[in-house]
Amino acid sequence: MEAIAHTRLRVELKDAARFDEAAARAAGVSAVTQVAPGVLHLIVGDQAAALAASLQG
């Protein structure tokens, strides 16, 4: 996972079918775009870099 813009996270998934878009939206993701098989961009707002750092531990 990485912040790719001020407002987006790029997520690479081994199994994209397991991604729960409803749960992501409930957690504050405003939009999800699939840019390639298994690669998603999550629109999260101004906190993209901080959120990426937090999720990576």
CATH for 18: 3.30.1360.60
Distance CA 46, CA 17 (A): 27
Taking only the tens place, the pLDDT of each residue in 3-53 is: 787 899 999 999 999 999 999 999 889 999 999 999 999 999 998 888 888
Counting the structural domains of the chain, the total is 1
What is the domain range of residue 41? 2-56
At 57 the pLDDT is 67
Residue by residue, DSSP assigns 15-37 as -GGG--HHHHHHTT--EEEEEET
pTM of the model: 0.83
At 9 the pLDDT is 93
At 40 the pLDDT is 96
